Every structure is written in C-alpha cells, then in structure tokens.
Amino acid sequence: MPDLLEKTLGFALILLLPLVIIGGALVTLFAVGALFDALDHPKEVRGRIDGLFRRPPPPARMAGPDHYYQPYWSGR
C-alpha cells in the first residue's frame, strides 16, 4: 500500500507541478501585459472602468404604423 501511495504521489508531482508552474507563468505574463497597457493608455482604462457603471442603451423599438418609412417587404 505505501508503495502505491508513493508512486501515485510521485506521478502527481511530476504531472501537476509543471502544469502549475506554466499556468502561473502565463497568468503572470497576462497581468504584466495588462499593467503595461494600463500605463500606456490611462484614458482608455478610465473609459473602460466608467463603461462598467453606465446603463446599457435602451433596446430598439419597432416603428409604428404611422411612421414615415414603410419597408417594401411589409406588403403595403
């Protein structure tokens, strides 16, 4: 039983440790890239943050029957 546990832990260490290191490196590179982008374009970052708190535009409405434009496919 201890031999099986030792092999399982060894396999998990060999498999998971490089995946965790590579994943951490990718996340770090992404964070550094985002930081440099924010430092290069601070007004765009401010606009993105402000855009998160703005209300979305209202949904489009269909034109009523008395509207001046009648599409040709309406059959009228």
Q: Which residues contact 17 (CB under 8 A, 6 or more apart)?
A: none
Q: What is the pTM of this model?
A: 0.55
Mean pLDDT for 15-40 is 95
Domain boundaries of the chain, sorted by first residue: 19-50
Q: What angle do CA 27, 29, 33 make, to 5 degrees?
A: 115
Q: How far apart are CA 17 and CA 28, in angstroms?
A: 16
Residue 71 has pLDDT above 70, yes or no: no
Residue 76 has pLDDT above 60, yes or no: no
In this prediction, residue 44 has a pLDDT band, given cuts at 50, 70 and 90, of: very high
What's the pLDDT at 72? 60
pLDDT tens digit sequence for 49-58 = 898 899 888 8
